Amino acid sequence: MSRRPPFSSHTGVAAPMLTDNIDTDQIIPSREMKTVSRDGLGDGLFAGQRYQSSQSRAENPDFILNQAPYRNASIILAGANFGCGSSREHAVWALAEYGIRSIIAESFGEIFHGNCGRNGVLPIILDKPDVLVLADHVRKDPQKHVLNIDLDAQRVKAQAASLSFSFDVDPYQKRLLMGGLDPIGLTLTRKSDIDAFLKNDVKRRPWIYE
Amino acid sequence: MAKTLFDKLWTMHEVAPDGDGASLIAIDRVMLHERTGGVALRGLAETGRRPRAPSRVFAVMDHIVSFREGRGPNDARLPGGEVFITETRRMAQEAGVHLIDTDDPRQGIVHVTAPEQGIAHPGVSLICPDSHTCSLGALGAFAVGVGSSEAEHAMATGVMRIKKPAQMRIRVNGRLRPGVAAKDLALHIISAYGAGGAERRVVEYAGSAIDALSIEQRLTLCNLAVEFAAFTALIAPDENVLKYVEGRPFAPSARNLDEAKAIWSDLYTDDEAIFEEEIVLNADKIEPMISWGTSPEQCIAVDEAIPVINALPATKRDQAAKAMAYMDVSPGARLSACSVDGVFIGSCTNGRLSDLREAASVLRGRKVASGVRAVCVPGSQGVRCQAESEGLDQIFRAAGFEWGEPGCAMCFYAGGETFPPGARVVSTTNRNFEGRQGPGVRTHLASPATVAASAVVGKIVGADTLSGDKMAAP
């Protein structure tokens, strides 16, 4: 899998996980981070709820992503402050490897939100009532009531119910996602600005560069 | 135009606008740890890049290191964890960045080591792939917790692209009462305004109660800003900060100190400056706090009753019911009825010398209740050495505490040995999430004094329970 698959539009099954404050410890428990790597984390996604115990991989049938209608979900519908807590980017890497392409939430943890775009995952903020309408619609028949996300047009649609919501997206994040771009490469196009700043700053604040 | 402290830090580091309200911000220092920093170094190496300024990058071992006394240089606290230590060490050496290794006398939790070594000081912009980096705003540093890729980006480019956040000031008037700690103030604020309360704003703490806090207490207060959804936290540096910083290894050298101080003297919020939001609190009313649930916003005063579900806002009820089931507590009950199975004192929140002193003053001449596993892990080798020279380790040991080697230790479970499922643990740490300290472990967040008192009584109690007549009878 590419580190940054480009995102233009996506249609998929959405899983409602509407509890507020779903933190990155829940998304990927620390015990599931086994190597110094971005890969191999999908299996540990939501491990604390997804499996019957920390010692086994026997599925917990109560967990939404283990239930047949949601098993191939690629979108999560979430409440407030999704991805709060630990800065671990492993949370986004785990979601992406599992196949989640977008999270639609009332709000996001700040660091998690920033981590999404550079890993091919689109975070969408909608008002709570809109998220709830989508969740109600999806629950009626998750496999048929798929959601369509058009990043270029900035719209989430549920065609089966003629629902359509527009969303804001940071233009930079949009550019990164649509192009599957490398943020470092983009910033390095500004190298002359950075060099000029440093040349001046070393005189202004020499102790930083001691 | 009147400026806030954050406005001034922003201007100081702004390289250039980068469109859409964002700017490229110069990052003076990058801190890494073996859990999420190694992968940033690896990302650089894999793409054939090198840190632009390796002398301004610091890799510290803290998250995965064993906290057993007498640990070896590669000993991890979880099976297979050695790879994080050895790989981070190897990559840090290859990249030529500063390495503060497991056996280094400067080793400690990154947010404890950074101020101790002067890496964080007023006006420095600093990022670290760790959410509690906001702690360092306590010194007037522009400190931001980020993901691993952002750290990789800053190492490669020297900058971070940031959309300027909105700002909030929390003015705390009056003075915290004796026995009430910065930890209690932070938990009070989060419980009053919610875990999402700061909504990505930069939070500046100000007011007489903040001025009266020691540097270490300020670090504790700012540490918890991320649990309040802040972008970061700040406190304007005062004389106490300047005294604290002077002479530390990575602080400005004597040659540059006067010039640095001249710039730092402008690091305060102008009188007329405007914040998007202002909160004013009275410190006198704040009491020792404890969390009852699984979010840091689910807190009460130690002797208060747990909320009744229907008394909570409708949007909080489901989460509260779920949290109460996990924590095995009842609405309307008091936590003093709950037996304690374990306590932990340490972490980037409360693992500094004054925290250990505060706990030791409660523990002196007392014993941990039978059946309670008690662990204290100093936040750094510096803290450990000073604590041992004051005899604090002897007080902890005599009381029945295990005394550990510096690191994040039991703040979070990463595999390996921990408290058993269902254990009720009172902890000086920062997160009470489900399973944070181990599968099924029930974490109650509190100050060092409250944790120490709870260890002694074997129930959740405030330190005042042990003072005066209440402790006289054997």
- 3-state secondary structure string, chain B? CCCCHHHHHHHHHEEEECCCCEEEEECCEEEEECCCCHHHHHHHHHCCCCCCCHHHEEEECCCCECCCCCCCCCCECCCCCHHHHHHHHHHHHHHCCEEECCCCCCCECHHHHHHHCCCCCCCCEEEECCHHHHHHHHHCCEEEECCHHHHHHHHHHCEEEEECCCEEEEEEECCCCCCCCHHHHHHHHHHHHCCCCCCCCEEEEECHHHHCCCHHHHHHHHHHHHHHCCCEEECCCCHHHHHHHCCCCCCCCHHHHHHHHHHHCCCCCCCCCCCCEEEEEEHHHCCCEEECCCCCCCEEECCCECCCHHHCCHHHHHHHHHHHHHHCCCCCCEHHHCECCEEEECHHHHCCHHHHHHHHHHHCCCCCCCCCEEEECCCEHHHHHHHHHCCHHHHHHHHCEEECCCCCHHHCCCCCCCCCCCCEEEECCCCCCCCCCCCCCEEEECCHHHHHHHHHHCECCCHHHHCHHHHCCC
Residue A2's pLDDT is 53
Nearest residue in A to B129, CA atom: A87
Q: Say if B35 is an interface residue toward chain A (CB within 8 Å).
A: yes
Tell me whether residues B36 and A92 touch, CB distance under 8 A. no
Could you tell me if B384 and B378 are in contact, meaning their C-beta atoms sit under 8 angstroms apart? yes
- Measured from the Cβ of residue A39, the count of other Cβ atoms closer than 10 Å reads 10
DSSP A99: T
Tokens linked to B404: 């550990």
- For the stretch B68-117, pLDDT in tens is 999 999 999 999 999 999 999 999 999 999 999 999 999 999 999 999 99
What is the distance in angstroms between the Cα of A87 and the nearest Cα belonging to chain B?
Answer: 5
Mention every residue, 6+ apart, whose C-beta is less than 8 A from residue B427. B343, B344, B345, B347, B410, B411, B437, B443, B444, B445, B446, B451
Of B39, B161, B319, the CB nearest to A37: B39
Number of A/B CB contacts below 8 angstroms equals 178
Of B161, B259, B431, the CB nearest to A85: B431
Residue A4's pLDDT is 78
Of A111, A201, A210, the CB nearest to B253: A210
Give pLDDT tens digits along chain B (474 positions).
Answer: 999 999 999 999 999 999 888 999 999 999 999 999 999 999 999 999 999 999 999 999 999 999 999 999 999 999 999 999 999 999 999 999 999 999 999 999 999 999 999 999 999 999 999 999 999 999 999 999 999 999 999 999 999 999 999 999 999 999 999 999 999 999 999 999 999 999 899 999 999 999 999 999 999 999 999 999 999 999 999 999 999 999 999 999 999 999 999 999 999 999 999 999 999 999 999 999 999 999 999 999 999 999 999 999 998 999 999 999 999 999 999 999 999 999 999 999 999 999 999 999 999 999 999 999 999 999 999 999 999 999 999 999 999 999 999 999 999 999 999 999 999 999 999 999 999 999 999 999 999 999 999 999 999 999 999 975 444 333
- Measured from the Cβ of residue B72, the count of other Cβ atoms closer than 10 Å reads 10
Residue span(s) of chain B under CATH 3.30.499.10 come to 5-264, 289-468
- For the stretch B109-152, pLDDT in tens is 999 999 999 999 999 999 999 999 999 999 999 999 999 999 99
| Residue appearing with tokens 């003053």 | B361
Mutate to test the interface with A, among B8, B39, B261 (most CBs of A within 10 A): B39
The interface residues of chain B toward chain A in range 227-246, judged by CB-CB distance below 8 A, are 227, 229, 231
Name all domains of chain A by residue range, CATH numbers in brackets: 9-179 (3.20.19.10), 182-210 (no CATH)
Dihedral, B31, B37, B40, B42 alpha carbons, nearest 10: 130
Residue B315's pLDDT is 87
Measure the CA–CA gap between A8 and A104, rounded to whole angstroms: 16
Q: Say if B83 is an interface residue toward chain A (CB within 8 Å).
A: yes
In chain A, beta strands by DSSP E = 9-12, 14-17, 75-78, 102-105, 122-125, 147-150, 155-158, 163-166
Among A61, A57, A102, A56, smallest CA distance to A82 is for A102
Residues of chain A with pLDDT under 70: 1-3
Partners of residue B47 in chain A, C-beta under 8 Å: 184
Strands B232-234 and B202-206: parallel
Does the domain at residues B289-468 carry the CATH identifier 3.30.460.10? Answer: no
Mutate to test the interface with A, among B9, B14, B15, B77 (most CBs of A within 10 A): B15
Residue B471's pLDDT is 44
Residue B469's pLDDT is 41
Could you tell me if A73 and A66 are in contact, meaning their C-beta atoms sit under 8 angstroms apart? no
Of A110, A172, A184, the CB nearest to B153: A184
Partners of residue A175 in chain B, C-beta under 8 Å: none
Q: Report the b/e string of B421-459 with b at 16+ CB within 10 A.
A: eebbbbbbbbbbbbbbbbbbbbbbbbbbbbbbbbbbbbb
Residue B391's pLDDT is 98
Tell me whether residues B196 and A87 touch, CB distance under 8 A. no
Mutate to test the interface with A, among B142, B157, B312 (most CBs of A within 10 A): B157
What is the distance in angstroms between the Cα of B310 and the nearest Cα belonging to chain A?
Answer: 18
| Residue appearing with tokens 């340490």 | B346
The CATH number fitting domain B5-264, selected from 3.40.50.970, 3.30.499.10, 3.90.76.10, 3.40.1160.10: 3.30.499.10
Measure the CA–CA gap between B319 and A116, rounded to whole angstroms: 25
Measure the CA–CA gap between B34 and B84, rounded to whole angstroms: 6
Tell me whether residues A197 and B16 touch, CB distance under 8 A. yes
Residue B365's pLDDT is 97
Tell me whether residues A35 and B156 touch, CB distance under 8 A. no
